[in-house]
A and B are shown apart, each in its own frame.
Chain A
Amino acid sequence: DGGITQSPKYLFRKEGQNVTLSCEQNLNHDAMYWYRQDPGQGLRLIYYSQIVNDFQKGDIAEGYSVSREKKESFPLTVTSAQKNPTAFYLCASSIWGQDGTEAFFGQGTRLTVV
């Protein structure tokens, strides 16, 4: 079945650690996105990538890094520079289709600082 897989579902980070969140899609979508969601809040864009080996900063990129070495994969690293990383992280992908562009989401990773 085609879809977007995020792992792990839950992640705990110690102060000063870098952690990497995985996002894999087998939908053959060109564009991929990372969003952060805080409790009771909307989605804020961290980074997005239109094609392999290219990505752009979103509204809240500070303290995060990404790579796009393969079309299927768009991992997000939360660095120690991100002072308040506890949040729900959502990965999405999109493609132009007959019905226009639509974003499909993975199941999310809940990151907690301990």
Chain B
Amino acid sequence: ELKVEQNPLFLSMQEGKNYTIYCNYSTTSDRLYWYRQDPGKSLESLFVLLSNGAVKQEGRLMASLDTKARLSTLHITAAVHDLSATYFCAVHSNTGNQFYFGTGTSLTVIP
């Protein structure tokens, strides 16, 4: 079974600071996804990373993928309160066409 681990699980950071969320997965995959979830809401797609070395940026968020290390990172630059949410990474398995989700990182940005 493919396992996806995120760390940290909880992150409290001050506005203006930088931080990185890590996502490790247990088997070969070249498709990695980042989602955002606001409390009580559904998941919103942030990034789709499809190849080794892929880097995508949107505003204060930047995601990267290292398929050899089986590691993806979500870097937050100069955090603002609006970024407070839970962030999930997910890996797609070609076997059975399933998505495996990490446990999520609950981010709170403190003014």
Which residues of A are in contact with B by a Cβ distance under 8 Å? Answer: 31, 33, 35, 40-43, 45, 48, 50, 56, 58-59, 88, 90, 92, 94, 99-108, 110
CB nearest to A45 among chain B residues: B98
Would you give the 0/1 interface string for B71-90, flagging 1 where the beta carbon is closer than 8 Å to chain A? 00000000000000000101
Chain A residues in 8 Å Cβ range of B103: 41-42
Contact, CB under 8 Å: A42 / B33: no
From residue 88 to 108 of chain B, which have CB atoms closer than 8 A to chain A?
Answer: 88, 90, 92, 96-104, 106
Secondary structure type dominating chain B contacts:
strand
B97 touches A100 (CB 8 A): no
Given contact pairs A90-B42, A104-B45, A33 touches B99 in the complex (Cβ within 8 A): yes
**Chain A contacts for B102, CB-based, 8 A:** 42
B50 sits at the interface (CB 8 A): yes
Bound CA–CA A56/B103 (angstroms): 23
Closest to A50 in B: B97
Which B positions have Cβ atoms within 8 angstroms of A?
Answer: 1, 31, 33, 35, 40-45, 48, 50, 88, 90, 92, 96-104, 106
SS class, residues of chain A in contact with chain B = strand
Nearest B residue to A104 via CB reads B45
Chain B residues, CB < 8 A from A40: 106
Closest 4 CB pairs of A and B: A43-B101, A42-B103, A105-B43, A105-B42
Of all chain A residues, the one with the shortest Cβ separation from B33 is A102
Chain A residues within an 8 Å CB radius of B97: 31, 48, 50, 94, 101
A42-B102, A43-B43, A100-B92 given; name 17 further pairs at CB < 8 Å.
Answer: A35-B101, A40-B106, A42-B88, A42-B101, A42-B104, A43-B101, A45-B99, A48-B98, A58-B98, A101-B31, A102-B33, A103-B99, A105-B35, A105-B42, A105-B43, A106-B42, A107-B41
